Chain A
Amino acid sequence: SAVISQKPSRDICQRGTSLTIQCQVDSQVTMMFWYRQQPGQSLTLIATANQGSEATYESGFVIDKFPISRPNLTFSTLTVSNMSPEDSSIYLCSVGLGQGLDEQFFGPGTRLTVL
């Protein structure tokens, strides 16, 4: 298994500002993923973050809005840029262990409210 921590756990931000969310894993992992969960909704994958390469974004998500860093095998950041109230969501990072489709472990999430 993997233990994942996220910072901050929650934040309230003003429109037009940016917030960087950190994800730390207690072991080296190949794949890290960032998901968004809008209020009362399901989880939607934002991007896949691989160490040493550009993140791969899903349809509807762009690097300018959600820049991602993956400096090593245990850490990643997601920035929510130029925020609007529509960005109010829970942002979760997850990791996949090994080469196969093992269970994905999720962090506790960052609850973001944009005023």
Chain B
Amino acid sequence: AQKVTQAQTEISVVEKEDVTLDCVYETRDTTYYLFWYKQPPSGELVFLIRRNSFDEQNEISGRYSWNFQKSTSSFNFTITASQVVDSAVYFCALSDEKKSSGDKLTFGTGTRLAVRP
């Protein structure tokens, strides 16, 4: 069975600090996809990134960066120079290509990030 663990329930940082959100996953499959979503206080889910299991290159997008390490089954997310607008709940999710019923996502429990001015 698939499982996603986000051990950090809540993180509080001061603006301009860097912060890393951890994500550890479990799957028996060799082909899978990992996602990060942001859920601001308004409630909508905002897609941030998708990474497939064959691409271990780290990715950077502005102040966001992702570190994918298959050896440790981790897909960590770093926000550099955090801003108040980054305050949200961040979800890591996993999808298995072999699922016959489609692109189901298994979500972690989320990490609530609070950025204080």
Closest to A105 in B: B47
B91 within 8 A of A: yes
A90 within 8 A of B: yes
- Encoded as 1 (CB less than 8 Å from any A CB) or 0, chain B from 35 to 64 comes to 101000011110100101000000000000
B116 within 8 A of A: no
Between A and B, 19 residue pairs with Cβ closer than 8 Å are A31-B102, A31-B103, A42-B91, A42-B108, A42-B110, A48-B102, A92-B45, A101-B103, A102-B50, A102-B103, A103-B47, A103-B50, A104-B47, A106-B44, A106-B45, A106-B47, A107-B44, A108-B42, A108-B43
Q: Which residues of A contact B69 (CB under 8 A)?
A: none
Interface of B toward A, CB cutoff 8 Å: 33, 35, 37, 42-45, 47, 50, 52, 91, 95, 97, 101-105, 107-110
